[in-house]
Structure 1
């Protein structure tokens, strides 16, 4: 028997069993639940299922134009190759990944929307055969003129409300800005980026004539069966999707990839299981990307340093028919004051691969601009950047007057300044030198909006007192298995090795999925709710009060009684399901995680290259559920921030829309030589408004603002301002004063 138990987050949470902590495992850096499987190579990923079975392989046929219609697809030569089972083309082919939570991916419908868009897929008995035959498929096109440059602003449209309300105003900004004593007005640009997860998008699909079973690398299982049903015609309740292990996603796998759809079409057409793993070039050209941005930042300030008005206006790209936009102003809504405000976004339509969510959508690009702007204004006013932020700390959300659920921004900044030795920062650019290297320090704030998503989980306690957590949640490498194990163990008074966790199965209780920094708190809260229900059931069986019942090491302790769980269960298993839903707290408080980054760089006056020497991140994200995995997430964000500051640039040929650097040989990401010893400090924190766990998201917080801290440090080192990312050496060399080189 299984009972459903629901908790709606209408009230702030008080003290809970997690605070009392009889097991002492919550928050600790427990080793990864699945760690041994991963380091031994026995954790199965999507492409590795059905090993030893007679399977077929798929390979995508990409479009050789960027815009136009498909006149015909001639697969005659391909189908004549021995071993080719079928070539699938037509309107059911999808043009890219699906948008997160969309009903389905967009089909091509006889058109080409971007260069290297899938137009067909070859299914063969061997991978090499499919790859060879794909080159023999002849596609005839009617090419049309395309739009590939954001600067051209050919078609501009207002986006839909995804993932935030795109245009928000308050007061009369233009009038207030015209009256401001100090007027800051600059434009920042960021290029397109790729998530480039280590595991490419990959799928194994099997059709048995009645049921479709799919193993795929996918972050959000709840909508996956419905999406596949739209494409295949198979009823959603006859589709099972598995995704227990994912080798990274960063938002690019929130929507199903074209590999999943075409593997399903292939197995239905041939009757054989089909495997499709996208090549790295396919991943870059046919899944999703982060759109380019042009961001105008205007801030009015008094001569004393008080911000009076604030505007952050963003143009960003996406392909036709896509409502998602890069929400660069998502933190600008609440981070800094200004009675009169504009936060706006427009989509510039281009005929390039669709843009979608990528790690920290909005903050990762927007804070490159706003945190650079804050540094410039502080320098113009002769104020320390730390002091400038301290004196402009709002008491409530300046856009809506909503109170903050908790806000430790200034605490993070002050703790970071103390630890980093900020008081030793060079007072003027170029004043600290070591041979050819100029040394500088920079800092930036960090913020990430917090969301609690509807989520559910089942806990089954077997007759011997062992607990198993089952939920459709996924683990993209963030440590979800371990965190859910810790929550259940702490709540139920069990040693960690008495709790099992099963994830990534669409038949399990539907969960929030991994993304948006909401996974740990949403899925974890559903485990919390299920645990409370299980505790009530145990208490009722021994006629005890659930509130005062103590659970420790597999025993229930009530009064002078200490009873093993096995004795309470008497050979019977108990199964309960817990569900968490957001409530009034999400509307009545503004919830976000906060942090600060401090960076020291060296800039070479001869080559213009930048080397990161030190990088510190201080974060406050409510209760930290696992210190080890949370710190690891911050390391990843810091490294990604280094890439956005100095290297990453998805180059789009403005003549034809081709993504030129469509692999990891040419799309540059930080390597070991680019990354110094990283330092992460997580402040003790609780946010009772955010979730029953009193925690908030941290996975994306650590990337927000890192790049600006680096470019602010570059300015402090050599006096060169970067507003066009990335800060490659050619941009720095062109602006370096000649006397720096003369003195080298």
Structure 2
């Protein structure tokens, strides 16, 4: 290996300069001759039927090429098939322009295609549409009696149902020393990445397409297009090298992809469809969820009864589920548990995974309930968690592959100054501000999926690595280079990474905090195979110094294969390729998790979060002034990009707990703040002192790299820590997110 490992180094993002200078091209920025522009027409009713379209005024405008509706769209294979993408929940996915039925407000019902975007948008305003409206239901709280058990689907591996009940919860709870019963409500949230959803489809002739798509899975979009339009997958190429944020919104193909491809195939011209900001609120979202908790302890604070129930919303088409109630018994042991999860079908678009789906929702209820118990028992909140600390996943009776959560508590508390906290609510002040300290635990599963990677040593002795994986802004390209560099003993500068293209080796969707482990393991497998190939070629060279050696006798470093005991005896990669008649040496390898071994363990990243808030006593305004997140996530490939991921989750936590909310008018069935002026997110002035600690954690079981993802764990524990700090500051426990200042007045 190289004498200076790249793994563990805080290397800046390799593509960062291109992004900040504007050289990086996104899906809506690829221009080709003859490009047409599509603008989506969205339904203005929530449920009903389209009676008629009057397109005459729009079509009369010079430069308007075509207007597609359900009345003139092409007949497609998928309208007769039930198709599911990689992230599809059980049910029947939404089909744009399928028929006259309207099933949610803002549903896409047409596409205007014109010579310019502005013209297409203007023409859409001239459309006259008549509807027959029907009654609808969009209010979760008003329809809780209609809740049902979710269907089981393809995603069960990543979203397992609640664990089975244990013991006798009702009896144990009734006889517990301290009890807390609480109800929580989590409102709707919408993904609002900076980059709008866009697709540029280039018609290449003979049914061949090149598609630039905003997506978290190039191959997922490729399979989607091939299945729907009856095209051979090899004739569909999806490219997505740069993604301006996604947070889960790009896991499933969004409707602009369908509309862009449909129009390009029909018109045999390149077509771009871009959604505007208000249209970003017309597809998946984090669902409304009502939660109920009942926790009971003995006199020493040990939990003896634990019940967590959640009821979430889904659409009439699909049973979208989240892991909301699976976490409490993973963190805290109890002999008597009852975990329940149900859904209510509403007239909304199917919800969609949003950063830390289910985990960030469930942790609010779990960790706020734990906090309330600590006050009833007069036990420090951190101490209560240590009393209930479990070395294993009690919900499944399995040990963790590794767990350094105890160190997260201790190191985080020390850095934050938790010992300075006065336990009495409303006891700490700074001028006219009430000061509150709150803490909470975070957990997120560490998964690993199959993937492929290609590794090539070229004629210059440099390494080229490729995978179809996307980089949604997390620094994936950079850590791919770091892993590959160490596998071949090269400096990062001698590694070229190609990614974000469906013609490259298979990669699943990027999300769920499993991408580093998934693609990293594939690169490691490819690197290992390439080392063997290089060594074999080196042994076959004339008068080879390695002729009597095994691969264990050599080292790969500085672009050479050298004898371990005599580094001066070496052959460069460049020389090996030259001896191979100048032909590059390459390998494509498939990495598959060792499922039999992994079934023995539960695998998760853990965190402990400590927060300070200031609350204006007269105005109720809440300010998060300090926060520390201590994370145990196995081996950290790049502490700089990993820290950025945790900080991003912490910023979003401020948003989730105090700002972010999609407001519904239940009479209209419509979201009322479909813009960034009224959909409130934090600004720079809202973000203060935030610190991240990576606790050392070695894991020899989770995967060959020993990695756990960090994309989600930064968002799981901090929102409840903020809520708990607000209680400590004010003595008022607010069980609804976001916390509105008026509830503190």
CA distance in 2, matches of 1:516, 1:557: 40
CA RMSD after TM alignment: 1.8
Q: Is the 8 A contact 1:23 1:494 kept in 2?
A: no
Partner of 2:465: 469
Residue pairs, 1:119-138, within 5 angstroms:
119-138=109-128
CA distance in 2, matches of 1:595, 1:432: 26
Residue pairs, 1:335-734, within 5 angstroms:
335-543=331-539, 544-558=549-563, 559-560=565-566, 561-570=569-578, 571-582=582-593, 583-733=595-745
Q: Is the 8 A contact 2:93 2:317 kept in 1?
A: no
Give the Å deviation of 1:100: 4.6
CA distance in 1, matches of 2:429, 2:390: 38
Residues 294/540 of structure 1: CA separation in 2 closer, same or farther (3 Å cut): same
Give the Å deviation of 1:222: 2.4
Partner of 1:176: 172
Where 1:547 maps in the other structure, the secondary structure is helix
Q: In the alignment, which of 45, 57, 65 is matched to residue 65 of structure 1? A: 45
CA distance in 2, matches of 1:603, 1:585: 50
Residues 596/86 of structure 1: CA separation in 2 closer, same or farther (3 Å cut): same
Q: In the alignment, which of 238, 243, 252 is matched to residue 235 of structure 2? A: 238
CA distance in 1, matches of 2:426, 2:176: 31
CA distance in 2, matches of 1:130, 1:236: 31
Partner of 1:10: none
| Structure 2: runs of 5 or more not aligned | 540-548
Q: Deviation digits for residues 250-285 of structure 1, max 9, x if unmatched? A: 001001111111011111122211111110100112
Partner of 1:167: 162
Partner of 2:544: none
Q: Is the 8 A contact 2:241 2:499 kept in 1?
A: yes
Give the Å deviation of 1:208: 2.4
CA distance in 2, matches of 1:470, 1:518: 18
Q: In the alignment, which of 317, 322, 335 is matched to residue 321 of structure 1? A: 317
Give the Å deviation of 1:232: 2.5
Q: In the alignment, which of 129, 141, 147 is matched to residue 137 of structure 2? A: 147
Partner of 1:102: 88
Q: Is the 8 A contact 1:45 1:245 kept in 2?
A: yes
Determine if the alignment matches structure 1 residue 212 to structure 2 residue 209: yes
Partner of 2:266: 269
CA distance in 1, matches of 2:388, 2:708: 24
Q: In the alignment, which of 99, 105, 108 is matched to residue 115 of structure 1? A: 105
Q: Is the 8 A contact 2:185 2:289 kept in 1?
A: yes
CA distance in 2, matches of 1:52, 1:399: 55
Question: What is the TM-score normalised by the length of structure 2?
Answer: 0.93
After TM superposition, where is structure 1 displaced by more than 4 Å over at least 4 residues in a row? 91-95, 97-100
CA distance in 2, matches of 1:56, 1:74: 22
Where 2:699 maps in the other structure, the secondary structure is coil
CA distance in 2, matches of 1:28, 1:557: 24
Residues 99/637 of structure 1: CA separation in 2 closer, same or farther (3 Å cut): farther
Question: What is the TM-score normalised by the length of structure 1?
Answer: 0.93
Q: Deviation digits for residues 328-369 of structure 1, max 9, x if unmatched? A: 123224111111212221111111222110000111111111
| Structure 1: runs of 5 or more not aligned | 1-16, 734-744
